[in-house]
Amino acid sequence: MNDAELLEAYRKGDEKALAALLERWAPSVHRFGLKMCRNTDDANDVVQDTLLAAARGLRDFRGAASLSTWLYTIARSFCIKRRRKSTGESLDVVMNVASPIAPPDEAASDNEIGAALEDAIGALEPLYREVLLLRDVEGLTAPETAEVLGIGVDAVKSRLHRARVAVRDRMAPLLVPRPEPRGPSCPDVVPLLSRYLEGEIGPAECAEMDRHVSGCAHCRAECDSLRRVLALCKRESRGGTVPPDVQRAVQRILLEMQGSNKA
């Protein structure tokens, strides 16, 4: 059953449909919380709070937004609360002093690249990190991302381009260990490609960029590295599990809710 069918079944009294919905979305919510909070305990709290809030509010959910948008909006609010409660050095400061990625002697392994991507995403300021996570990892559209964040689509795309460029730049030593020299006519091709992928470049500009890239090894490698970063981000969406203790806590509350509903 898809989300809409499960939701309809739950509204008709099928409590198992609620558990199935939460189980389906729990890994995505936990992955988002972990990458935003950068702390396992906080992420566990975020996924538990989000799923419980969703369980209590799902009967009233009327689909004005997609279910994913609704859930990520709830999760983001709990991430923000966790960040505000944190003590000591601010998250922004901690993330921005991350050490750069050292260029390898040989081609990097998948594990090295995965760890480097994690570090590169973590090094982003939260307002850029959340855009990249929602758009490129979780796969929300730009309008859906805008709805979660409460900003305009143009602002989403502006932040997204900056986030993509920053992550690509940190990953570049691993992805392009021996870069070709940049030519005098080379444009700043990485943000151009990001804008192209978001549909912000017209046919004429696109054709001009294609002509240049086809004959320029430097710009071709730059474009390939960004595409690889985005492919790696998409691959991240397949991972993620919810810790057993969090699963048990949510299941316990669901059982209590079922009991109160029957009463």
Q: What is the pLDDT of residue 86?
A: 63
What is the tens place of the pLDDT at every residue in 98-133?
A: 333 333 433 457 778 889 999 999 999 999 999 999
The CATH class that applies to domain 3-262 reads: mainly alpha
Q: What is the pLDDT of residue 245?
A: 80
Q: Give the residue, 146 or 91, on which the prediction is more confident.
A: 146
Closest CA to 118 of 177, 170, 176: 170
The model's confidence at residue 239, banded by pLDDT at 50, 70 and 90, is low
Looking at the predicted structure, is the pLDDT value of residue 181 above 60?
A: yes
What is the tens place of the pLDDT at every residue in 211-237?
A: 999 999 999 999 999 999 999 999 887
Q: What is the pLDDT of residue 112?
A: 86
Whole-model pTM? 0.81
Taking the domains of the chain in order of start, what are their residue ranges? 3-262
